[in-house]
Amino acid sequence: MDYQVIIIGGGPAGISALLWCHSLGLHAVLLEQSSELGGQMLEMFHPVLEYPGFPNKTGQELRDEFATHLQAYNLSYLLNCCIEELDLRETRMMVNGEHVTARALIIATGARNRRLELPGAENLSGISYSATHDHQRFAGKNVCVVGGGDSAFEDCLILAEVCPHVTLIHRSEQFRARQGWQQAVFKHSHIDVLPHNQIAQITQENSEALRLSVINHLDGTRRELITDGLFVRLGIEPNTAFLQGRLQLDEAGYITTDRAQKTSIPNVYAIGDVCRPICLSVSTAIGHGAIAAKGIAETLRQQFDG
């Protein structure tokens, strides 16, 4: 299969790039690894208030509107794609056993919640990445939250409304969360804060509960906590593992680009959360899609004319 543009990632950035490629007359395909489009929009259960035109739609409902838009123009996107080989300089790859080539590539692989990176933790029940979504599931139960930023503190406050006891675990006593949320958490009667502590091991205690083995960095003591749920709120990380050593990334693994969304490799662009925009949002991702598609259209026109 040969295209002018391959877009990797089917979140709002990739969807916008596909629409812009279509409107600029570029033959493009979008490759998404999961079984549906939308990326992080699928985790937004609240209305996306600041996205123009759809004030009452949740992220999922907004995603449905975006998907309908693609279908209205009969645009090509492939789900369940696994990139098995990738040559960025030649803009070619092997996807689900088939060779795919293009003149330009747009990387829109976004970001995801940072995982605990403890053996076996991914498969345990009782672990959640969002109190907004899961707080009712844990109503009346005792839970722990791990993290020290806005999302960890916000989750503590959401959970304290429905849980008798919430424990916040954080590796230091430096918290990045906004001051107002810190004050509310520290004075809340249902919330305990364990600074200088790190989860060293996590196992399933029984079908209902988890056992956390927690080490205190100050005095080296280890304690066991039995909890009904663990909310992991350690921030986000870019989906760039498959790009390590292939193009320039920053110290946190995000793709570095210039203002035109060009990466360190000619004809390879990166858009949306994967290149650490100042404001991580649907609107930014969509704007990046437009910038990259315009840049590619201009570059290909010059290469063709020249």
Ligand X SMILES: Cc1cc2nc3c(=O)[nH]c(=O)nc-3n(C[C@H](O)[C@H](O)[C@H](O)COP(=O)(O)OP(=O)(O)OC[C@H]3O[C@@H](n4cnc5c(N)ncnc54)[C@H](O)[C@@H]3O)c2cc1C
CB contact at 8 A, 276 and 109: no
Q: Is 110 an interacting residue with respect to ligand X (CB under 6 A)?
A: yes
Residue 11 or 295 having the CB closest to ligand X: 11
The CB-of-111 to ligand X minimum distance in angstroms stands at 5
The CB-of-179 to ligand X minimum distance in angstroms stands at 22
Residue 194 or 236 having the CB closest to ligand X: 236
**In sequence order, which residues have a C-beta less than 8 Å from that of residue 139 and are 6 or more positions away?**
162, 163
DSSP letter (8 states) at residue 258: -
**Contact letters for ligand X, residues 212-241 (x by CB under 6 A):** ---------------------------x--
Q: Name the one range near ligand X by CB under 6 A: 29-37, 139-147, 213-221, 295-303.
A: 29-37
Q: Name the one range near ligand X by CB under 6 A: 18-26, 216-224, 281-289, 297-305.
A: 281-289
Question: Cα separation of 26 and 150, whole Å?
Answer: 41
**Contact letters for ligand X, residues 74-93 (x by CB under 6 A):** -------x-x----------
- Ranges of H-type helices in 24-165: 59-72, 131-134, 150-160
Q: Which of 6, 41, 160, 212 binds ligand X (CB under 6 A)?
A: 41
Supply φ then ψ for residue 289, to 5 degrees.
Answer: -60, -40
CB contact at 8 A, 290 and 15: no
Residue 39 or 147 having the CB closest to ligand X: 39
Residue 79 or 226 having the CB closest to ligand X: 79
* b (16+ CB within 10 A) / e for 164-192: ebbbbbbbeeebebeeebbebbeebebbe
Half-sphere exposure of 301 (CA within 13 A, CB side): 9
Q: Is 12 an interacting residue with respect to ligand X (CB under 6 A)?
A: yes
Q: Name the one range near ligand X by CB under 6 A: 34-42, 167-175, 177-185, 192-200.
A: 34-42
Q: Which of 204, 213, 281, 299 binds ligand X (CB under 6 A)?
A: 281
Q: Is 147 an interacting residue with respect to ligand X (CB under 6 A)?
A: no
**In sequence order, which residues have a C-beta less than 8 Å from that of residue 89 and are 6 or more positions away?**
265, 266
CB contact at 8 A, 90 and 80: no
Residues 43-62 contacting ligand X, CB under 6 A: 43-44, 48
Strand, coil or helix: what is 152? helix
Q: Is 162 an interacting residue with respect to ligand X (CB under 6 A)?
A: no
The footprint of ligand X on this chain (CB under 6 A) covers a number of residues equal to: 34
CB contact at 8 A, 253 and 77: no
Q: Is 145 an interacting residue with respect to ligand X (CB under 6 A)?
A: no
DSSP 157-213: HHHHTT-SEEEEE-SSS---S-HHHHHHHHT-TTEEEETTEEEEEEEE-SSS-EEEE
Residue 26 or 285 having the CB closest to ligand X: 285
Q: Is 285 an interacting residue with respect to ligand X (CB under 6 A)?
A: yes
Q: Is 282 an interacting residue with respect to ligand X (CB under 6 A)?
A: yes
Binding site for ligand X (CB under 6 A): 8-14, 31-34, 39-41, 43-44, 48, 81, 83, 108-111, 130, 239, 242, 272-274, 280-283, 285
